[in-house]
Amino acid sequence: MAQADAPADAGRAPVRAAAEARTAAPDFADETLRISYDNGYKFELRFEGADTAHWKVLAGQDPAEGTVKVEHHEKSPGVYRLKWTEADGTTVEQVQNWNKKTVTAVIEFEQDGAKQRLDLEGTFRVAC
């Protein structure tokens, strides 16, 4: 008899909460990040929503910037895997850990006819 007294959707609440968590905007959406990698590279990464970003070199490389479409996936709560391809063919795969404010990146590009790869680790902060 106890089941008859329970609301019809009582068992659905956890399912609904999980679905809402999956559709919530990621932490980086509409934020501007200042990223500092351990090799001295510094970037600004300004997100327009969650699917577009404008990146800008701040230090460590020749001045450059661009706007890219971003693919993203939440690996675990507060940890996001992002991927994009820049206009010159450079690919970036980045993992942002919002719990620890750390970032890792793999950047692949062609230089003098040979494919190059940079593996980077660093930190980020949300710009004011």
- The pTM (predicted TM-score) of the whole model is 0.79
4 contact partners, CB below 8 Å, separation of at least 6: none
> What phi and psi, each to the nearest 5 degrees, are found at residue 10?
-55, -40
For residue 113, what is the domain's CATH number?
Answer: 2.40.128.20
Q: Higher pLDDT residue, 31 or 23?
A: 31
Mean pLDDT of the chain: 88
**Domain boundaries, position 116:** 2-126
Flag whether pLDDT at 22 surpasses 80: no
Q: Structure tokens of 18?
A: 């999980």
Sheet hosting strand 114-126, strand order edge to edge: 65-69, 52-59, 42-48, 32-37, 114-126, 102-111, 91-97, 79-85, 71-76
pLDDT 10s digits, 86-100: 999 999 999 999 999
- Residue 128 CB burial class (10 angstroms; 0-12, 13-18, ≥19): exposed
Flag whether pLDDT at 40 surpasses 90: yes
The whole-number average pLDDT for the span 32-40 is 97
Q: Structure tokens of 62?
A: 């020749």
Q: What was the pLDDT predicted at 24?
A: 84
Q: How many domains does the chain have?
A: 1
Q: What was the pLDDT predicted at 55?
A: 96
